Structure 1
Amino acid sequence: MPGFGRSVINAVWILLFPLFDFSFANYSEDQCSWRGSGLSQQKGSVEQISLHCSEGTLDWLYPKGALHLTLSPRLPSVAVGPGGSSSGLITTCVKPSEQFHGAQLYLEKDGVLELLVGDRLESSPPPRVRCFSRLPGEKVALFLQATPHQDISRRIASFRYELRGDWSARMSLDSNSISSEDACRPCNNTEILMAVCTSDFVVRGNIRSVEEDESLRAAVIKVKSTRVFRQKYAIFNSNSRLPGWGEIRTLLQCGVKPGPGSFLFTGRIHFGEAWLGCAPRYRDFQRTYALAKAAQQIPCELPVD
């Protein structure tokens, strides 16, 4: 099986600063989370909230009225493309809770509303992750509007979100326009070398099995890791040369199959899960890395065997 490519997914999490006083509101700077109740809101009122962190959560109990969420992330990096070029894109992903009820979530872009997450019936399937991108200076906000219910005691509009400056929303699971050619093509040498420097995890390992998750339209790759070069979070239970195990997700249409050989897996952490970026065969990576190092064109060092 040739080295397979970049079914990268996108992202957002946030810190919320309420500009108005909420009864039962709770804001935690360390956790970048906000929790409040709509019971104190007047009918038809809109509360203004600014979002500044790269990760966070929002829990709106007993939704009433509306929340206007301004996205103004302070990100350390911008989108980096092949060759180190910068597109400046900021990607936002929202992951509603499985019990999301009592409100509808809209994307507000240049004064136009687009429905991201609708109110759910008890029997409805869980809502899916939604992602979108914007350019610096482009006015984007989230608008959370309560839907009328006689009994609001069991209604909670809750979601997590991530803000990233280095992903493209075209790779998100919610995008129906993703083509296998775009999402699954192998990375070129420049992209591989950049992925080693910028990914959330860089792991050498073997594919032991691949399982399908139809609800996510994703393939779950079971990886036996032989070396963990770097990981931002403890996704792989090995941080040395001892063998370990981990899971990496990729788009289902990429058709990843188990097979022999060692790969260098790179990618991003998305809502606590590892998603595949570049994954060349390890011997191909060694050759690419050696040639780039001899030409003094490696963007960062990696202790290659």
Structure 2
Amino acid sequence: MHWLCPWILTIGTLKSVICSYLEDQCSWRGSGLSLEAGSVEQVSLHCAEGSVEWLYPTGALRLSLVPRQPLAALSPGPSSLTACIKPAASFRGAQLYLEREGLLELLLSEAEPALRPRVHCFSWLPRQKVALFLQATPHRDISRRIAAFRYELRGDWDGRLALPLNKLSMEGACRPCNDTEILMAVCTSDFVVRGNIRTVVNDAELQQSVIGISATRVHRQKFTLFQPRGHSVKSLGDIRTPLSCGVKPGPGSFLFMGWVHFGEAWLGCAPRYKDFRRVYEAATQAHENPCEIVLD
């Protein structure tokens, strides 16, 4: 569906705005070759996650973040929303800006090193209007230029039962979960896995620790994160956490719970299994469990 739109912003030498509205989509893929010089392609993204791939960037692309579900569905009573952007290693040909209340803030420069793409996150209040603005950078040869990234959108990523953001150093991310948080994590996490720590590998550049897990029981996993590898009978998988948490390998059985962030498992809570069982059984006896899980 195409129609002319009124002037909504002026950046650089842009003189007119031509909008192309595509309804109810999570991801968008298109070419700058279809744009007229000095025009802006207008797209609405209606999902909690998806991807954008802009081939041969010319002109500009404006992406409105309009989740299809009510804000309450993203998080109970969210006071803010958070979006994260992960550029493809091949990101070329454009600069990515955050447009908030009519002002632009540079999120991703074309000059940023692409070998290990960094996740960029930002938050806003429910009443604020935000969009992502991709502006093509001038190049004589655009045949190998592709501006591509993935996005995720959730409510109230607070670092405790959710995910660390930009620098993986949010306050409280390393604090042990209390009893209430443990019980809620069992119900709401993307994965709930009982297992042991095999290895811990620290990545100083990304400021992450990668915990190698040997799972004795996979209670739930939203995505296939833990599965047998090679000749192993047990399911194996990796969980990430901020390097600042100082995770070290050690004996014992744990219940690992957390969230999936751009296809990677991130740790939320990890009580020792005996401690979890004590908390769970006490809550069950008091009829205070928010959900049920089968114990060994």
Compute the TM-score of the two structures, normalised by the length of structure 1.
Answer: 0.82
Are 2:69 and 1:78 equivalent residues in the alignment? Answer: no
Whichever residue aligns with residue 205 of structure 2, its letter is S
| Correspondence list, 1:126-275, <5 A | 126-165=116-155, 167-168=157-158, 171-175=163-167, 178=169, 182-237=172-227, 243-275=234-266
Whichever residue aligns with residue 74 of structure 2, its letter is V
| Correspondence list, 1:283-302, <5 A | 283-302=274-293
Distance 2:144 2:23 in 1: 24
- RMSD of Structure 2 on Structure 1 (CA): 2.4
Distance 2:269 2:80 in 1: 20
Are 2:20 and 1:20 equivalent residues in the alignment? Answer: yes
Deviations 1:141-192 (A, max 9, x none): 111111111221111101111122353379534237x35x522111111111
Deviations 1:267-305 (A, max 9, x none): 011111111111111111111111111111110001123
Please give the secondary structure, in 2, of the residue aligned with 1:260.
coil
Q: Size of the alignment, in residue pairs? A: 271
> Alpha-carbon deviation of 1:222?
0.3
When residues 246 and 124 of structure 1 are mapped into structure 2, their CA distance, relative to the original with a 3 A threshold, is closer
When residues 250 and 269 of structure 1 are mapped into structure 2, their CA distance, relative to the original with a 3 A threshold, is same
2:50 to 56, 60, 63: 56
Identity of aligned residues (%): 61
Distance 1:290 1:124 in 2: 49
Corresponding residue of 1:34? 28
> Alpha-carbon deviation of 1:40?
2.1
C-alpha contact 1:91 1:168 (8 A) present in aligned 2: no
Deviations 1:25-80 (A, max 9, x none): xx8989x4321111122222111110102221111111111111100012472325
C-alpha contact 2:120 2:166 (8 A) present in aligned 1: yes
C-alpha contact 2:24 2:44 (8 A) present in aligned 1: no
**Which sections of structure 1, spanning at least 5 residues, go unmatched?**
1-17, 22-26, 81-85
Flag the structure with more relative contact order, 1 or 2, with Cα contacts below 8 A and sequence separation at least 6: 1
Distance 2:156 2:141 in 1: 42
**Which sections of structure 2, spanning at least 5 residues, go unmatched?**
1-17
Distance 2:74 2:274 in 1: 31
Compute the TM-score of the two structures, normalised by the length of structure 2.
Answer: 0.84
Corresponding residue of 1:8? none
